[in-house]
Amino acid sequence: MTIPLNTIIHGDALEVLKGIPADSFDSCVTDPPYGLGFMGKAWDKSGIANNVDLWREVLRVLKPGAHLLSFGGSRTYHRMACAIEDAGFEIRDQIMWIYGSGFPKSLDISKAIDKAAGEYVPGEVLPSSRQSAASETGIATSFRTKNGTNPQTDLARQWQGWGTALKPAHEPICVARKPFKGTVAENVLAHGTGAININTAPKPVLRALCAEVSAELADKMDEYRRSPGNDLSSVTWYKNVPGMGDITIKPELIEMVKSNYFTIYSTGMTEGMEQSVNGVVQRSPLKVLSWRLE
Ligand SMILES: C[S@@+](CC[C@H](N)C(=O)[O-])C[C@H]1O[C@@H](n2cnc3c(N)ncnc32)[C@H](O)[C@@H]1O
């Protein structure tokens, strides 16, 4: 079974994945429900992201060494990560989507205290806003004006500024990899998976590869790889970047851009039957390294 590039399959992942052959995909990037009951939606309450059976299926359809990136909620990520690990993935890292635009959903303790005491004044109590509210809706709203703005009670004043939740500002992304046999280099050559291509990897990935790569160095690496004429064919190209000094990035993390090895996929079809082979070939000297019927 060959799935054409850029195909969208609409369905329940638990069901759909069962119909896909093992070792089919190079990677999986997914944003499953965070399990927070988003806007009361049923799909965000099913616990699918914590379902080990789902991740077992994802593991099965990925090629050996393939990476999985899965987004999670800051409050629920840990259960998803455990399920991913329990399914057989190796947790490799965690990346973070950090943003400043989140809207806080915190309970205002001061307001809650006033409400419990029956003293809370809804809406703005300034006369001008009362009037504009009434004129906009045409309904005379019953704002009370007693004692000016909230909080009303001494206790509520004492707890002003206290809440129950931080403003959302990050979402963790689990970085996991399907285990494989042999070395990373062998796996990369056989399946094209298992490593991160730092020639094209975004700058945060460059930094994640090695603690010594600062933001400034990541900028320089990016500039170097974009400059025409710079040779990127060696796995140690980054060593030519000004300022890299003695920094060494583990070679097994870096995918080669030139190779003496090739993977050949071939599918034969006749009268409704279909057979595919997957072969790994060495170019020079010419040698078939593996030949597998699928
Ligand atoms: C967090 S949202 C993803 C949003 C998406 N990344 C976007 O930017 O629009 C999670 C999605 O997973 C879908 N979903 C929930 N359970 C699923 C399942 N068992 N199989 C496939 N999709 C599912 C939901 O319908 C929802 O659209």
For residue 14, which atom of ligand 1 is closest to its CA?
19
Q: How far apart are alpha carbons 98 and 204 in whole angstroms?
A: 12
Question: Per-residue b/e over 35-48, b at no fewer than 16 CB within 10 Å?
Answer: beeeeeeeebeeeb
Domain ranges of the chain: 1-101+166-194, 109-158, 198-259, 260-294
**DSSP element (H, E) containing 209:** helix 203-209
Mean pLDDT score of the chain: 84
Asked whether 172 lines ligand 1 (CB < 6 A), one says no
Structure token pair of residue 45: 């309450």
- pLDDT computed for residue 123 by the predictor: 62
62 pLDDT higher than 90:
yes
Q: Which residue has its alpha carbon closest to ligand 1 atom 25?
A: 43
Mean per-residue pLDDT, 243-272? 73
Query: Residue 63: how many CB atoms within 10 A of its CB?
Result: 20
**What is the DSSP secondary-structure string of 105-150?**
----HHHHHHHHTT----S--SHHHHHHHHHHHSS------TTSSS
pLDDT in tens, 198-253: 777 788 878 877 888 999 999 999 999 889 888 887 778 899 999 999 998 877 66
Contact 203, 87 (CB under 8 A): no
Between residues 36 and 69, which one has the greater pLDDT?
Answer: 69
104 pLDDT higher than 70:
yes
**What are phi and psi for residue 97, nearest 5 degrees?**
-90, 115
pLDDT in tens, 10-42: 999 999 999 999 999 999 999 999 998 877 888
Assigned CATH topology for domain 1-101+166-194: Rossmann fold (3.40.50)
For residue 54, which atom of ligand 1 is closest to its CA?
19
pTM > 0.85: yes or no: no
